[in-house]
Structure 1
Amino acid sequence: MSAETASTRLAEIHSRIARAAQIADRRPDDVTLIAVSKTHDAESIQPLIDAGQRVFGENRVQEAAAKWPALKAATPDIRLHLVGQLQSNKAADAVALFDAIHSVDRLSLVAALAKAMAESGKRPDCFIQVNIGDEPQKGGVAVRELPALLAEARAAGLPIVGLMAVPPVGVDPAPYFALLAKLGREVGLTELSIGMSDDFEVAVTIGATHVRVGTALFGARA
């Protein structure tokens, strides 16, 4: 991706976020754009960094560990978010590498993250992932089990800041985003990680504080 393409795409996404925020009487600055760079190498990511993007998302710990330490060393104000599923045995690696983890969804992971944070002293922000469409193939805690998991996570000392969800494919995402926003209000969490390339504007109008955009910034994956 050329520097010009990166700047153009980034400006377009920010413009669309601003328009969506205006519709909902929100400030665009209250929405964090996470550029999801999974499957893209450092050479493809650098133009977006050069264009001013500072928050990036990855799906896998191992892939992120291969490319981000050098990129973060060169640009220390980069913030890296883990937006994919996390295995408990990778919790320590994730805590070491990421500034936020969006996929806390079970007790075993809560325990592993609490242990890793206690040992390292590093405390990335955590989002609880909710299986908002009750889909067996997706990660996330069931809606009915959210309060119990949140209580356990808070008791373990995890810095839980919000909720994350991925709505079912091929249907209107708005009711699912609205449900997550309602759940957030009920449990006292104000941050919502919702919305991707196809639906981030809808998410912003419903209260997203973090949108996870990959394809619209990097182009279609091979």
Structure 2
Amino acid sequence: MSENATDRLAEVQAKIDKTCKIARRKPEEVTLVAVSKTHSADEITPLLEAGQRVYGENRVQEAQEKWPALKEQFSDTELHLVGQLQSNKAEDAVQLFDCIHSLDRPSLVKALGKAFDKVGRQLPCFIQVDIGEEEQKGGCAIADLPQLLEQARGADIPVTGLMCVPPLGIEAAPYFALLAKIADDHGLDGRSMGMSGDYPTAIMLGATHIRVGTALFGQRD
């Protein structure tokens, strides 16, 4: 793969287009979230200049250090929080981000509801589902999803869909298919699933948002 960020972006976009054609989907149905965690503003800028406008960060504090200046320069940029969110960082997240992919527990529902009211803006949220039943990962247990969804809607949180991170080293397709079915069962259109190693599979199985880091920025140090 090319070392040039612009070329890498073109390669990923070409693969998205090709996969969508096979899946009989429109490329505009899939949002590419460029995961820029651990990468500096200088590393992100070439992708911004190439037209990539949706980015994902894992930590509020890291995003606060580099994104306000970048968003000032590229004002149409969307910033998504794709990592775990601590309840005490909810207000900071609502001020900086445009979408949250990791709503996963009742305490965070409460914290986000308060933050939305205080900051005066509402962010679309994905509920993160612990699709592989892995205790070490964040995410709501599948059995607890209906209750969490009801709580979120009761707090006027706009739930746009579901998110998952399948277990490492195992074929991801069954987990993506399961998330898509659960989303359908609950009348949710958004499916945030698929990363650098498996995003074509995720697109085939209905992903609306793919979170791609390494394929765009190269291997992290």
Name the TM-score, length of structure 2 as normaliser: 0.98
Deviations 1:145-164 (A, max 9, x none): 10110000000000110100
The root-mean-square deviation of aligned C-alpha atoms, in Å, is: 1.0
Q: Residue in 2 aligned with 1:78?
A: 77
- For 1:74 and 1:84, how far apart are their aligned partners in 2? 24
Query: What is the CA-CA distance between 1:19 and the residue it aligns to?
Result: 1.1
Q: Residue in 2 aligned with 1:116?
A: 115
- For 1:125 and 1:5, how far apart are their aligned partners in 2? 32
- For 2:119 and 2:161, how far apart are their aligned partners in 1? 22
SS in structure 1 of the partner of residue 4 of structure 2? helix
* Structure 2: stretches of 5+ with no match in the other structure: none
1:149 corresponds to 2:148: yes
**Aligned-pair identity (%):** 61
Tell me which amino acid in the other structure corresponds to 2:24.
Answer: D
Tell me which amino acid in the other structure corresponds to 1:172.
Answer: E
Query: What is the CA-CA distance between 1:43 and the residue it aligns to?
Result: 0.5
Q: Residue in 2 aligned with 1:98?
A: 97
Q: Residue in 2 aligned with 1:8?
A: 7
Tell me which amino acid in the other structure corresponds to 1:195.
Answer: G
Query: What is the CA-CA distance between 1:7 and the residue it aligns to?
Result: 1.6
1:49 corresponds to 2:42: no
- For 2:43 and 2:23, how far apart are their aligned partners in 1? 33
- For 1:205 and 1:25, how far apart are their aligned partners in 2? 9
1:138 corresponds to 2:148: no
- For 1:69 and 1:123, how far apart are their aligned partners in 2? 19
Name the TM-score, length of structure 1 as normaliser: 0.98
Query: What is the CA-CA distance between 1:186 and the residue it aligns to?
Result: 0.4
- For 2:21 and 2:144, how far apart are their aligned partners in 1? 34
- For 2:183 and 2:22, how far apart are their aligned partners in 1? 21
Deviations 1:160-198 (A, max 9, x none): 101000000001000000000000000010010000000
Tell me which amino acid in the other structure corresponds to 2:167.
Answer: P
1:21 corresponds to 2:20: yes
- For 2:157 and 2:199, how far apart are their aligned partners in 1? 27
- For 1:180 and 1:42, how far apart are their aligned partners in 2? 33
> Which segment is superposed worse, 16-25 or 88-97?
16-25
Query: What is the CA-CA distance between 1:21 and the residue it aligns to?
Result: 1.0
* Structure 1: stretches of 5+ with no match in the other structure: none
Query: What is the CA-CA distance between 1:122 and the residue it aligns to?
Result: 1.1
Query: What is the CA-CA distance between 1:22 and the residue it aligns to?
Result: 1.2
Tell me which amino acid in the other structure corresponds to 2:140.
Answer: V
- For 1:42 and 1:84, how far apart are their aligned partners in 2? 19
- For 1:73 and 1:47, how far apart are their aligned partners in 2? 16
- For 1:68 and 1:53, how far apart are their aligned partners in 2? 14
Query: What is the CA-CA distance between 1:91 and the residue it aligns to?
Result: 0.2
SS in structure 2 of the partner of residue 47 of structure 1? helix
- For 1:92 and 1:187, how far apart are their aligned partners in 2? 28
Tell me which amino acid in the other structure corresponds to 2:162.
Answer: L
- For 1:172 and 1:22, how far apart are their aligned partners in 2? 23
Tell me which amino acid in the other structure corresponds to 1:43.
Answer: D
Q: Residue in 2 aligned with 1:218?
A: 217
Q: Residue in 1 aligned with 2:29?
A: 30
Query: What is the CA-CA distance between 1:120 and the residue it aligns to?
Result: 1.0
Count of residue pairs brought into register by the alignment: 220
- For 1:73 and 1:123, how far apart are their aligned partners in 2? 20
Tell me which amino acid in the other structure corresponds to 2:52.
Answer: Q
